[in-house]
Amino acid sequence: MNYRHGYHAGSFTDIFKHAILVSLIKSLLQKNTAICYLDTHAGAGYYDLFAETAQKSLEFESGIAKIFHENNVPTLIHQYLSCVQKMNARFSGSKLSSLRYYPGSPSIMRYFLRPQDRMILTELHPQEYQLLRREFAGTKQASVHLLDGYQGLKAFLPPKERRGLILIDPPYERPNELADLALALPMALKRFATGVYAIWYPIKDRVTIDHFHRSLKETIQKPILIAELSIYPENSPLHLNGSGMAIINPPWQLDEHILEYLPWMWQHLSVQHQGQYQVSLL
């Protein structure tokens, strides 16, 4: 396991993924009943953009640094940026802070969840797990586990709340990760059919993604919403061109909510107006 998210924290793919996560949780929190959030590949919890890792890749410069100081932003982006700003203010001790820290998915969810909600975080890298455990030590509603994310799906589903959001955000270090996902998801859905599942995936070329979409459609008999954002042409071999989220059992009108900010995001993040965005049912 070589992947460390510190190299990629705050990148354009993080912004896309985390904004969608905020849309999902906002929709689910419209009901008062408690929900359970399961983050199968949770990472370290938050990242220092001044650290050697982030400074080496500088991926945050074409991501969060481009929008952190924007004022005239869509409502959902404002809510997401408030969370990033709060994390920076916590460390700087001042309300008007500059950008240094970037929250990972567990910290973003903690910002939005209510006291009645619960979070389960699994992470397999021992160092990332230690950082995550330390960061969430004082968070009573969170449990943190050194565990394979796919084992976590078996161990923690269905949640006792019977309402849940599951983020599956693997590093895609292994070439067969997409195929593993297509196998793991039917098992998870068998255990918890009504859960909302958000699966992040990288876009390097369209053929691989079309194949992944086809296998999702064949193996999962549930509504699946696809949202994607690319900032380079999709078959450009030099870069990670974009990323997508496949959302199983999407909340009502999620597509419309995402389209309120995705065009804005593409305009602000795309490189010379390359790439594209899309939201559609599979």
Ligand X SMILES: C[S@@+](CC[C@H](N)C(=O)[O-])C[C@H]1O[C@@H](n2cnc3c(N)ncnc32)[C@H](O)[C@@H]1O
Q: Which residue is nearest to ligand X (CB)?
A: 104
On the CB side of 172, how many CA atoms lie within 13 Å of its CA?
13
- Decide whether 68 or 274 has the Cβ nearer to ligand X: 68
Closest CA to 241 of 199, 276, 268: 276
Minimum CB separation from ligand X for residue 93, in Å? 24
Question: Minimum CB separation from ligand X for residue 125, in Å?
Answer: 3
Q: Is the CB of 107 or the CB of 270 nearer to ligand X?
A: 107
Residue numbers 114-133 binding ligand X by CB under 6 A = 122-125, 128
Measured in whole angstroms, the distance separating CA 45 from the mean position of its chain's CA atoms is 12
Residues binding ligand X: number (CB under 6 A):
19
Of 198, 187, 214, 192, residue with least CA distance to 251: 198
Binding string, 168-187, against ligand X, x = CB under 6 A? -x-x----------------
Give dist(CA 279, CA 262) in Å, integer: 9
Residue 174's contacts (CB-CB under 8 Å, 6 or more residues apart) are 180
Query: How far apart are alpha carbons 85 and 70 in whole angstroms?
Result: 12
Cβ at position 43, least distance to ligand X in Å:
3
- 39 or 255, CB closer to ligand X? 39
Q: What is the C-alpha radius of gyration for the chain, rounded to an integer number of angstroms?
A: 18
Contact between 55 and 136 (Cβ < 8 Å) = no
Integer Cα distance of 277 and 19 in angstroms: 14
Site residues (CB under 6 A) for ligand X, limited to 32-91: 39, 41-43
- DSSP calls for 126-193: HHHHHHHHHHTTT-TTEEEEES-HHHHHHHH-S-TTS-EEEEE-----STTHHHHHHHHHHHHHHH-T
Which listed residue (39, 169, 210, 255) is catalytic?
Answer: 169
CB of 148 or CB of 161, closer to ligand X = 148
Q: Which is nearer to ligand X, 239 or 274 (CB)?
A: 239
Question: Which of residues 11, 23, 88, 105 is near ligand X by CB under 6 A?
Answer: 105
| Selected binder of ligand X within 3, 68, 111, 264 (CB under 6 A) | 3
Residue 169 annotated among the catalytic residues of the structure: yes
Return residues touching ligand X (CB under 6 A): 1, 3, 5, 17, 39, 41-43, 104-105, 122-125, 128, 148-149, 169, 171
Cite the active site residues. 169
